[in-house]
Amino acid sequence: MAERTVKIPNISCGHCVMTIEREVAELSGVQSVKADQAARAVTVSWDEEATSWQAVEGLLREINYPPAE
């Protein structure tokens, strides 16, 4: 199991949090996802055999919540 927390600068409201959590949770292998509006961060835990961080990051970019560089 892997876990990563990344800053997402454009989290601005509860809708952003719900969208991120719903979309990322649907990825195969994702065990948990927690978006934090105040910290503008997302923590994702996933099974490395089922998916990769690149897939998670790609989805975040696709839904317009790219991680900070």
Crossing angle (nearest 10°) for helices 14-25 and 53-62: 140
- Structure confidence at residue 7 (pLDDT): 98
Token duo for residue 66: 């790219």
> Per the structure, how many domains does the chain have?
1
pLDDT tens track for 9-55: 999 999 999 999 999 999 999 999 999 999 999 999 999 999 999 99
Residue at 68 is within a domain: no
Domain that holds residue 6: 2-62
Asked if residue 30 is part of any domain, the answer here is: yes
What CATH number is attached to the domain comprising 46? 3.30.70.100
**pLDDT surpassing 80 at residue 69:** no
Give residue for tokens 């195969």.
Answer: 28
Task: Report CA-CA distances (Å) from 65 to 19, 57, 62.
Answer: 10, 9, 7
- Say if CB 16 and CB 10 are below 8 A apart: yes
Helix (H, G, I), strand (E, B) or coil at 27: coil
Q: 6 is written with which tokens? A: 């990344």
